[in-house]
Amino acid sequence: MYDIAIIGAGVVGGMIASTLAKYDLRVCILEKEGDVAMGATKANSAIVHAGFDAKENSLKAKMNVRGSELMEEVTTRLGVKYKRNQSLVVAFEHEREEVEAIYRRGLANGVKGLRILEKDELHALEPNLNKDLTCALLAETGAIVCPYELCLASVGNAMDNGTELILDFAVCGIEKNGGTYVIKASDGREVEAEIVINSAGVYSDVIAAMTGDNDFTVTPRRGEYMLLDKECGSFTERTIFHTPTKMGKGILVSPTVDGNLLLGPTATDIEDKNDTATTPEGFATIFSKASDNVANLPFNKVITSFCGLRATGSTGDFIIKERDGIITLGGIESPGLSSAPAIAEYVEAIVDGIKPLGEVKADYVATRKPAHYFRELSMEEKNEIIAKDGAYGRIVCRCEGITEGEIVEALTVNPVARDLDGVKRRTRSGMGRCQGGFCSPTVVELIARERGIPFESVTKFGGESVINYQRTKGDN
C-alpha cells in the first residue's frame, strides 16, 4: 500500500514525484506507456515562458511566473540543460497595441525584465527577422530547456530516493476502499494508495470522471513541429513569437538547448486523444507563419517533424483541486512545462494539508549527475574514463558523438531505457542529421545485450513496435 499514487509520468508528474521524494513517504508513479515522457512532454516547444501571456490573476499566470523563477535552480540541481536565451514577441506596426497590451499584462503578472523594442534595436538583436517587423516585447527571463530530459531527471531523482515507477499501467478504474483508493489497470493489476494525484495530461478528465468528478473536459490540441539541423541552430539567438491568438502563442522560431532550430507549433483542436499524426496542412502553416517572422528560413535543412497534443481544458485556466484525497490537475497545457516546478510546490502544500509531511528525510539525495556529462568533459577527463571503461571510446552515433558507454548508462540508470526511442531521449543517439540511419542497428544490439533479450524482441517504442523480424544470416 502506498501513501501517494501519481497517475502520469510526464514532466508535471515527474516534478511532483521529485518534490515529494524529500519526505518519508511510499510513493508510486503509474504510467500507461512503456516509458516516461511519452505524452506532451516529449513533443512541445521546450520553452520556459516568462509569464506575460496568461490572464492576470489566473492560476496559469501565477504558476508560470513562479515556475520560471524556480526553473534555473531545479535544472542545475537535476543536471538538466537550461539556457536563458530571452524571448521576443514580434509585431508589425498595425499590431503595436497588442504588444503594448501584452507588456501591461506581463507587468501585472509580476514578470521582470520586460521592455518594448523599436525597429532598429529589434533588428540589431536579431538580423534574420522579417524587415517589415517594427516592434517587439523583449522578455529577459525567457528561456529554453529540454522537456523530456527534465522529466527523466525528475523521475530518476524520485526513484533514487525510493519512489517506484510502474509502467504499462493503464488506469481503467478508481474505487474508494475505506480510507484509501484502489486504482485498477486494464491488465488486472491493482494499486492501493491513501492519496491519488491525477496528472494524466489529455486524459486527466477521463481519470477525474472515474472518481465522480465531471466538472471539466480536456480537448486535445494538435501541435505540429519541424526540427532543423544543428547547422541552423544560431539562425536566431532568442525565441521568436508573434502576437498570440485565442488558440495559443502561434508559430515560434527558437533555438534548442541541443543546438537545433525548432519551428511550430500549429494549433488544431481534435477529438482523438492519441492522434499525433503530422499533416501537409500543418507543414504549410508552419512554413507560412514562421516565414512571416524570420526571413529566408532554411527549410531544406529540416531533419524531422513531430506532433504533440496539448491538454486544453474547458475552463481556460489550470485546474488544481483536492477532494477527499484526490488531487486533480486538469487543463495543464502551455505553459505547463514552465509551470511544472511551481505546480509541484503547490501540490506539495496540498499534500501537507492532508497528510503532514514532516521534515526532509536524512538520506534524501537532492542532486543528480547530468545525463550528458561525458560529452562536456575535457579530452583528458574523457581519456581517464576511457582507460577504465573502453566502451566510452567507441562512438556509436556519429551525428551526435554518442558512445557505447553512454548508451549502456541509459540502459542501467533510473529510469532505465527499454527501447530504441527510450535510448534516443536519454542520449540523443538517433537525433542527428541521419535520424538513426547509421546507429540504430548497433543500439538495438546493445539494448538486447544489456537487457538480456533476443535481438528480434527489441522495440522502437514498446508494444508491438518490433524493429526486426528475424536475422537473415543465422545466429551470428
pLDDT band for position 246 (cuts 50, 70, 90): confident
Q: Is the pLDDT of residue 475 over 80?
A: no
Q: Is the pLDDT of residue 249 over 80?
A: no
Q: How far apart are CA 363 and CA 344, in angstroms?
A: 21
Alpha carbons within 13 A on the beta-carbon side of 312: 18
Q: Is the pLDDT of residue 248 over 80?
A: no
In CATH terms, the fold of domain 374-457 is Arc Repressor Mutant, subunit A (1.10.10)
- Give the range with max mean pLDDT: 163-167, 374-378, 472-476: 163-167
Q: Lowest-confidence range among 8-17, 201-210, 246-255, 326-335?
A: 246-255
Please check whether residue 139 is in contact with residue 52, taking contact to mean a CB–CB distance below 8 angstroms.
yes
- The average confidence (pLDDT) of the chain is 97
> Active-site residues: which are they?
49
Q: Please tell me the predicted confidence (pLDDT) of residue 87.
A: 98
Across the range 16-36, mean pLDDT stands at 99
Residues of the chain within CATH 3.30.9.10 domain(s) are 82-143+221-269+277-309
Residues of the chain within CATH 1.10.10 domain(s) are 374-457
Q: With CA atoms as reference, report the closest residue to 146 among 435, 456, 464, 426.
A: 426
Q: Please tell me the predicted confidence (pLDDT) of residue 470.
A: 80
Which secondary structure element, helix H or strand E, spans residue 174, and what is its range?
strand 171-177
Q: How far is CA 114 from CA 52, 79, 127, 244, 277, in A?
A: 9, 28, 21, 17, 37
Give me 401's grid cell.
558523438
Name 175's bridge partners.
182
pLDDT band for position 474 (cuts 50, 70, 90): low
Q: Please tell me the predicted confidence (pLDDT) of residue 472.
A: 80
Q: Please tell me the predicted confidence (pLDDT) of residue 67.
A: 99
What is the sign, positive or negative, of the torsion defined by CA atoms of 13, 17, 20, 22? negative
Across the range 18-26, mean pLDDT stands at 99
Q: Is the pLDDT of residue 476 over 70?
A: no
In CATH terms, the fold of domain 82-143+221-269+277-309 is D-Amino Acid Oxidase; Chain A, domain 2 (3.30.9)
pLDDT in tens, 327-339: 999 999 999 999 9
Q: With CA atoms as reference, report the closest residue to 371 among 428, 319, 332.
A: 428
Q: Please tell me the predicted confidence (pLDDT) of residue 473.
A: 75
Alpha carbons within 13 A on the beta-carbon side of 41: 29
Which secondary structure element, helix H or strand E, spans residue 59, and what is its range?
helix 59-78
Q: Which residues contact 386 (CB under 8 A, 6 or more apart)?
A: 392, 393
Q: With CA atoms as reference, report the closest residue to 31 among 462, 426, 427.
A: 462
Across the range 434-439, mean pLDDT stands at 96
pLDDT band for position 123 (cuts 50, 70, 90): very high
pLDDT in tens, 169-187: 999 999 999 999 999 999 9
Q: Please tell me the predicted confidence (pLDDT) of residue 276.
A: 97
